Amino acid sequence: MDEASETVPLSCRVRRLGHGLWRRAIDWVLPPVCAACGGPVADPEALCGTCWGALQFIERPYCERLGIPFGYDLGPGALSAEAIASPPPFNRARAAVIYGGPARDLVHALKYHDRPELAAMLGRMMARAGREILGDADLLIPIPLHRWRLFTRKFNQSALLAQAVGRESGVKVDLDCLDRIKATRPQVGLSGRDRLENVRGAFGVASANRIRVAGRRIVLIDDAYTTGATIGAATRALQRAGVGNVDVLTFARATLDGAIGL
Percent of the chain, pLDDT > 70? 82
Residue 85 has pLDDT above 60, yes or no: yes
Q: Measure the CA–CA gap between 32 and 23, rounded to whole angstroms.
A: 11
End-to-end CA distance of the chain: 55
pLDDT tens per residue, range 10-27: 554 445 454 445 445 444
Please report which confidence band the pLDDT of residue 109 belongs to, taking 50, 70 and 90 as the band edges: very high
pLDDT, position 12: 46
Pairing status of strand 93-98 against strand 139-142: unpaired
pLDDT, position 10: 53
Please report which confidence band the pLDDT of residue 257 belongs to, taking 50, 70 and 90 as the band edges: low
Q: Measure the CA–CA gap between 25 and 115, rounded to whole angstroms.
A: 22
pLDDT, position 26: 44
Q: Backbone phi, then psi, for 245, in 5-degree steps?
A: -155, 140
Q: Backbone phi, then psi, for 188, in 5-degree steps?
A: -55, 125
pLDDT, position 188: 65
pLDDT tens per residue, range 173-208: 999 999 998 877 566 666 667 677 777 878 999 999
Long-range contacts, 146-152 (Cβ 8 Å, 24+): 146/180, 146/182, 146/183, 146/184, 147/180, 148/183, 149/180, 149/183
Is residue 152 classed as helix, strand or coil in its secondary structure? helix
pLDDT, position 114: 87
pLDDT, position 59: 95
Angle at 102 between CA 101 and CA 108, to 5 degrees: 100
Q: Measure the CA–CA gap between 95 and 126, rounded to whole angstroms.
A: 7
The DSSP letter of residue 143 is P
Please report which confidence band the pLDDT of residue 260 belongs to, taking 50, 70 and 90 as the band edges: very low
Please report which confidence band the pLDDT of residue 158 belongs to, taking 50, 70 and 90 as the band edges: very high
Measured CA distances, 5 to 9, 14, 15, 21, 255 (Å): 8, 12, 14, 19, 52
pLDDT, position 166: 98
pLDDT, position 192: 67
Whole-model pTM: value is: 0.85
pLDDT tens per residue, range 125-142: 999 999 999 999 999 999
Average pLDDT, the chain: 86
Is residue 248 classed as helix, strand or coil in its secondary structure? strand
Q: How many CB atoms lie within 10 A of CB 136?
A: 13
Q: How many CB atoms lie within 10 A of CB 246?
A: 25
Residue 3 has pLDDT above 60, yes or no: no
User: Where do the domains of the chain lie, and which CATH numbers do they carry?
Assistant: 58-253 (3.40.50.2020)
Residue 29 has pLDDT above 60, yes or no: no
For the sheet containing 217-225, what is the strand order? Answer: 93-98, 245-253, 217-225, 139-142
Angle at 113 between CA 59 and CA 125, to 5 degrees: 20
Is residue 51 classed as helix, strand or coil in its secondary structure? helix
